[in-house]
Structure 1
Amino acid sequence: MLERHEAEVFLALAEELHFGRTGERLGITTGRVSQTVKKLERMVGAPLFERTSRRVLLTPIGRQLAEDLAPHVVGMDEAVRRAVDAGRGITGDLRVGFLSSVAGQLLLKAVALFGERYPACEVHIHETQGHDAVVRLRRGDVDVLITDVLIAAQPDVVAGPVLLAEPRLLAVATGNPLAGHVAVSLEELAGHPMILVPADMPDAFSEDRNPAHTPSGLPIPRGPRAASFTETLTLVAAGRGVFPVGENVARLYPRPDIAYVPFIDAPPIRWGTMWLRSNTTHRVREFVRAAGDAGRAT
């Protein structure tokens, strides 16, 4: 008979495909992960993973088992959470995270409204970074996150309604010829190096902020890579390149050496709530509802 902890280890390894990361995620040793997998393979009578010194892959049998098993484990979690929520109401602790000053402002409005509705639930606020936002959701450091929707574009993460869609601006040095323009087009990016986001940012975010080509196919030059958003603005001010930002950046980061020029043809930057699919609790759902209501009220 398959035990719950064995299923959790198997499914975590099926997602991570790395024994060390699986152990860190579950708070157990790598040896314990390996022992659990070997036990399951003896039970099944066939290998579930292909292991080499360089990689771990699911076998066809392992992939099928993961697909069949995952909904049942998630269903068990949700059933227990619904029972707990029904018995306790909205109480206990809720850990909410935010990424960037814009998300922080959205979060504070949501926390205030949620606190009015559910004063018995204590909300803990945490700042996250782009490279670890989803990791902290998976690790349980935060229950729900407000961020750029592209940061958390992952299969195991649920995206709530968009709370804010802000127009996109191009940050340029005041000495850049574009600084005097009333507006710019995406096609004009072909003539200016683009400051690159940190290498550990999610692919969807990197592709959005650092497009390789203009809509017509012209290549966009690569500028230096920044380690943080503050460094990005400093590189822009130094004339090392340009960078697309949201409208609120002009208000939150005014600088005499940077001009923020509106785009005429770029999509908005969208902010919203994100949470782990397996952590869809009543508390999380009510916080997401409060965030949406707070956003509509402003």
Structure 2
Amino acid sequence: MELRDIEIFLTLAEELHFGRSAERLHVTQARVSQSIAKQERRIGGALFRRTSRRVELTSIGARLYAELKPAYQQILDGTRSAAAEAARGVHGTLKIGTMGALSQILTATNALFRGHHPGAELDFVEVQPTTPFAGLRSGEVDMALLWLPVREGDLTVGPVVSERPLVCVVGSEHPLAKRDSICMEDLGDYEVPSSQHPLPAYFEEALLPFHTPSGRPIRRGTKIATWQETLIAVTAGAVIQPIQAEAADYYPWPGVKYLPIDDAPMGRWALVWRTNAENPLVRAYVEAVEGRV
């Protein structure tokens, strides 16, 4: 049933008069009659009883009215809300959590967002890799750029913004630094950092597997709380660290070397936000990521 036919039916059900319904809808009385007749043919039964003196709903018509009225009202309310939001535009400050210089991944999106929403501001807050969800859950940030997978019941995972194979960062004096590349099996011969704050196992394993492809355990060593502490431990030769390829672009730290991993899994970054805190700013930014603004 088309929306205009729904409007005609609901109006006649309330007015119970073809002439008044036509006036209220700014259509001809014939248009009202034609619409009702079409609906009755589709349903296979009469919606109204008509006499020379009055119009009444049949039991079928009354049931249809009871079902359509609240649904139609929801459509109207949603349309008005969307129109009001569009009229107001997107305003306010969107706080985005990123892990240090990885905010550079979003440079093009930021320019697109700002161009379409000049009344909105972007504020970037650092997120530590050992406490990736804390800012979202405390409300410190509206959305965060996190590596995948994220499987948290209260968080929504949005579009992927970068996808590249992992690399491994080692100290420049480390035995692996003499090589041009390594493989995932090499991780079983050395220690990797451990987090000072417990991470969900699935989230940690995406970056630091617990076992090599052959099943050897990958030992955890120095406890770290920040990315800078990781780089310090790597520079000292205490640990090696599989990491997203973007780190090599943005952190050319003295005393370290970034090595390709021949059989590396993909490192994927996506925007994540608290499901029950989604707002127009979040939706507008996601649209910018997807190129829909």
Residue 99 to residue 124, structure 1, CA distance change in 2 (3 Å)? closer
CA RMSD of aligned residues (A): 2.6
Q: Distance in 1 between matches of 2:103 and 2:280?
A: 22
Q: Distance in 2 between matches of 1:237 and 1:82?
A: 58
Q: CA deviation at 1:82?
A: 8.1
Counterpart residue number, 1:121: 120
Q: Distance in 1 between matches of 2:184 and 2:216?
A: 10
| 1:84-137 C-alpha deviation (Å, 9 max, x unpaired) | 553132322142312213531123432221110121233333333345543332
Please, which of 254, 257, 281 is the counterpart of residue 255 of structure 2? Answer: 257
Q: Distance in 1 between matches of 2:146 and 2:97?
A: 6
Equivalent position SS for 1:240: coil
Counterpart residue number, 2:187: 189
Residue 287 to residue 243, structure 1, CA distance change in 2 (3 Å)? same
Q: CA deviation at 1:214?
A: 0.4
Residue 132 to residue 258, structure 1, CA distance change in 2 (3 Å)? closer
Counterpart residue number, 1:237: 235
Point out the more displaced range, 284-293 or 196-205. 196-205
Instruction: Note the 1:35-50 alignment, pairs <5 A.
Output: none
| 1:188-209 C-alpha deviation (Å, 9 max, x unpaired) | 1111111223324443332223
1:270 and 2:268 aligned: yes
Counterpart residue number, 1:105: 104
Letter in 2 for 1:143: D
> Percent identical across equivalent pairs?
29
TM-score by length of 2: 0.65
Residue 255 to residue 139, structure 1, CA distance change in 2 (3 Å)? closer
1:138 and 2:137 aligned: yes
Counterpart residue number, 2:211: 213
Counterpart residue number, 1:73: none
How many residues are aligned here?
215
| 1:175-232 C-alpha deviation (Å, 9 max, x unpaired) | 2221121211111111111122332444333222332210110122222111211111
Decide whether the 8 Å contact of 2:154 with 2:274 is kept in 1. yes
Q: Distance in 1 between matches of 2:78 and 2:200?
A: 30
Letter in 2 for 1:125: F
Residue 239 to residue 80, structure 1, CA distance change in 2 (3 Å)? farther
Counterpart residue number, 1:39: none
Q: Distance in 2 between matches of 1:91 and 1:83?
A: 16
Q: Distance in 1 between matches of 2:131 and 2:79?
A: 28
Bigger radius of gyration among the two = 2
Q: Distance in 1 between matches of 2:141 and 2:77?
A: 19
TM-score by length of 1: 0.64
